Amino acid sequence: AQSVTQPDIHITVSEGASLELRCNYSYGATPYLFWYVQSPGQGLQLLLKYFSGDTLVQGIKGFEAEFKRSQSSFNLRKPSVHWSDAAEYFCAVGARSGGYNKLIFGAGTRLAVHP
């Protein structure tokens, strides 16, 4: 069965510091992979996605993620965090069969940013 693990429930970084949020997935084939951000009181916004091709994916707001098949990982990174990045981040996997028919979400990582 597909599953997504985000090992870090809560992370605190200083503004300007680099960030890496971890995501590991379990899926038999090459999955669709996503990172979403949910700000307080807001809906989910897609940061980036991986389907195939270049394993380093660029997203919005300066985020990037790297797909590593050997490690079943899709970690999210940002070189310099801004205070406005404080939010909940969700990694998700889509079952792949000519498309995907549902998303499985990880538990989420709550990011706090110190000034």
Binding residues for another protein, per CB under 8 A? 32, 34, 42-44, 46, 49, 51, 90, 94, 99-108
Helix (H, G, I), strand (E, B) or coil at 61: helix
Question: Shortest distance, CB of residue 30 to another protein, whole angstroms?
Answer: 14
- Report in angstroms how near the CB of residue 105 gets to another protein at its nearest: 5
Q: How many CB atoms lie within 10 A of CB 65?
A: 26
Residue 70 or 101 with smaller CB distance to another protein:
101
Which C-beta is closer to another protein: that of 39 or that of 80? 39
Under 8 Å between Cβ of 31 and 96: yes
Of residues 15 and 51, the one with the C-beta less far from another protein:
51
Smallest gap from Cβ 85 to another protein, in A, equals 19
